Amino acid sequence: MAANVVANARGKKATKTSRTVALWENIKSLAGAILIYLVINTFLIAAYRIPSGSMIPTLLIGDWLFVNKAVYGPHIPFTQTHLPSFSEPKRGEVIVFESPYQADQAAENLDPTPTLVKRMVGMPGDTLYMRAGLLYVNGVPQRQGFGIVSQPTPSTSQPNDVSALFDWQHKIELKQSRFGAAPAQPRLDNWGPLVVPAANYFMMGDNRYESKDSRYWGTVPRENIRGRPSFVYYSYKSGNETDRPLPFITDIRWGRIGTRIH
């Protein structure tokens, strides 16, 4: 009888120990999976959803993108430091970045430094200006290309054609140059010439009359750049484009899935 009691006690202890070991192994596996996810999301690849139409037709509202965070050097969270990069930003590339501080956003209790996606149109040292909606870089008119569908509309030309938010441009604009003088009052499609500061970049949306970009909040420091979108991995109609319930299931844009971003 005593032997049976001892054996039962040992068996219960062994069972308890095995359960503890199994629980610990499960915790380690879960922690390892979370760590791998955090490393990938922080330093290699992240997902981003397009919330506005500022990059139409290149990117549509409801597009979900895979963003290559390693290409420009992964950003170390809570710092202004980047790891070594594979490439430097090039003019014409679509880039994900943290916006410079936007005081008007803060005044409305909105995120003053949102993560944005725009096209980089100006490198450090470039002279930029716009006349009648046509962008010039170092005196060379840029083919509209991706932005050709942009046209002024009543909702954008008034009152956004003139804004106090454009006044920051006076700090870096050229009063006199071979490209002519800067207008006294910058407008949405008539501003500059201005020179992009060192280690900064000028960003614009492809949908130029529907984009709040560097024209409003200034140039983007190199340390604010977070990555380059690679392709659309999911897309569905949203907002005013659809009245279907659960559009992320019922109104998927199958043709956009896998679209590479240029």
Does 16 fall in a domain?
Answer: no
Does 26 fall in a domain?
Answer: no
Does 84 fall in a domain?
Answer: yes
What's the farthest any 2 CA atoms get from each other in the chain? 106
**Model-level pTM?**
0.81
Query: Can you tell me whether residue 144 is helix, strand or coil?
Result: coil
**How far apart are the C-alpha atoms of 209 and 57, rounded to whole Å?**
13
Does 187 fall in a domain?
Answer: yes
For residue 150, indicate whether it is catalytic.
Answer: no
> What distances in angstroms separate CA 64 from CA 16, 60, 140, 182, one per listed residue?
47, 9, 34, 39
| Catalytically annotated residue among 54, 99, 214, 235 | 54
Containing domain of residue 108, as a range?
50-256
Q: How many domains does the chain have?
A: 1
| Catalytically annotated residue among 69, 118, 212, 237 | 118
Does 14 fall in a domain?
Answer: no
For residue 54, indicate whether it is catalytic.
Answer: yes
Does 105 fall in a domain?
Answer: yes
Report the CATH number that the domain containing residue 211 is assigned in CATH: 2.10.109.10
Does 57 fall in a domain?
Answer: yes
* Tens-binned pLDDT, residue by residue, of the chain (262 aa): 555 554 555 555 556 677 777 766 667 666 665 555 455 555 556 889 999 999 999 999 999 999 998 888 877 776 777 677 778 999 999 999 999 999 999 999 999 999 999 999 999 999 999 998 899 999 999 876 665 555 555 444 444 588 899 999 999 999 888 999 899 999 999 999 999 999 999 999 999 888 999 999 999 999 999 999 999 999 999 877 888 888 888 899 999 999 999 8
Does 262 fall in a domain?
Answer: no
